[in-house]
Amino acid sequence: MPLSIGLITVRGPDYHPNRRLAQAAASRGLEVVLLDPYRLACGLEGGLVVRGLPGGRLPRVILPRQGATLAEFCLLLLEQMELAGARLVNSPRAVRLCSDQFRCLQILAAAGLPVPPSRQVATPEAFDQAVEELGGVPLVAKRPAGRQGRGVSLLNGPEKLALARHFLLKRRRGLLLQGFIPPQGRRDLRLLMLGRELAAAVELEPPRGEFRANFHLGGRLAPFTPPAAVLDLARRAMQALGLEIAGLDLVLDQQGRPWFLEANYAPGFKGLEAATGLDIAGRMLDHVASIASSLERGR
């Protein structure tokens, strides 16, 4: 029986990562099963069960790939699957840490890794104080969760500050305010890591007039070889967050100093494959298969 790899996703089989992972699995004699978390249910019936699984069987290895659509129920589901015996790549703890941008930066800062000056605020009064402490505009405002550059705003004047204070600030969820690193002379990097190994690295160039360098916003990608010091920081970040597969976003400022912006536990890789010509999906599945093999040897 081929190794069954579950993908936690709300997208269908034609979504690029799902399609590419399925293709790479088929070429390796593996099986990919798409698991829509909202079609599953957690049960406590003489133990822990997950209802609604295709074929009624819990895959041995599961990749959470839900991205920013993650809800608390989905985190509960991941924990249920892990407790029921599945091996999750990444773990529920790592997913939870990366699902909130400030929590992610909090862990990286605690590990001594460089993050931009940041404030998490939940009241208008704290918002005003943070703006003053961060030196005023321009600032970057980020909602707790976002994907492909969405939920990120540049506050470059009094009007934008007032709009963010009124519309973006949520007392229950908070808002992340961050010092702005101007794009001129800045280098935006995406490193895709598999454990301690670098699978691919690219430099992103923001489109004209845009401060965000995301591929889905029209940014250009070019292969990049990270310096040893940057790769060491990436490995330390993976260890601090407990990640096994991740896309790490960093910038090198005008002085060449690195700053972590975020870690994505379910990284897209369409742009990376196009820019580098590498089989990223295959490398990811090889990494997952090696984890599964180690589980078998440990039995």
Closest CA to 73 of 107, 45, 39: 39
Mean pLDDT value across the chain: 91
Please provide the CATH number assigned to the domain covering 118-179: 3.30.1490.20
Place of tokens 């999906």: 281
Q: With bands split at pLDDT 50, 70 and 90, how would you rate the model's confidence at 76?
A: very high
pLDDT in tens, 18-39: 999 999 999 999 999 999 999 9
Query: What's the pLDDT tens digit per position in 235-277?
Result: 999 999 999 999 999 999 999 999 999 999 999 999 999 999 9
| 125 has pLDDT over 90 | yes
Mean pLDDT of 193-216: 79
pLDDT at 213: 54
Give the span between the Cα atoms of 223 and 280, in whole angstroms.
Answer: 13
Confidence of residue 206 (pLDDT cuts 50, 70, 90): confident
In this structure, of 66-70, 150-154, 267-271, the range with the lowest mean pLDDT score is: 66-70
141 DSSP β-pair partners: 153, 177
Decide if pLDDT at 52 tops 90. Answer: yes
Tokens describing residue 251 = 């910038």
Beta bridge partners of 251: 188, 259
| Planar angle of CA 71, 62, 142, nearest 5 degrees | 35
Architecture (CATH level 2) of domain 4-97+283-298: 3-Layer(aba) Sandwich (3.40)
Q: Which of 247, 243, 239 is nearest to 221 (CA)?
A: 247
The predicted pLDDT at position 84 comes to 96
For domain 183-264, give the CATH number.
3.30.470.20
For residue 124, give the amino acid letter: P
Banded model confidence at residue 97, pLDDT cuts 50, 70, 90: very high
Strands 31-35 and 4-8 come out as parallel
Beta strands in 65-186 (DSSP E): 87-88, 118-121, 139-142, 152-155, 175-179
Domain positions in the chain are 4-97+283-298, 118-179, 183-264
Over range 101-124, report the average pLDDT: 96
| Cβ neighbour number for residue 256 with a 10 Å cutoff | 11
Report the pLDDT value the prediction gives residue 215, as an integer from 0 to 100: 52
Domains 118-179 and 183-264 share a fold: no
Q: pLDDT digits over 155-192, tens only?
A: 999 999 999 998 888 877 789 999 999 888 899 999 99
* Separation of first and last alpha carbons in the chain: 18
pLDDT range class, residue 294, cuts 50, 70, 90: confident
Give the full edge-to-edge strand order of the sheet including 139-142.
118-121, 175-179, 139-142, 152-155
Q: What is the structure's pLDDT at 167? A: 84
Cα separation, 66 vs 57, whole angstroms: 20
What is residue 141's predicted lDDT score, i.e. its pLDDT?
95
pLDDT at residue 226 tops 80: yes
Per 3-state DSSP, the chain is made up of helix, strand and coil in percentages (nearest 5) of 40, 25, 35
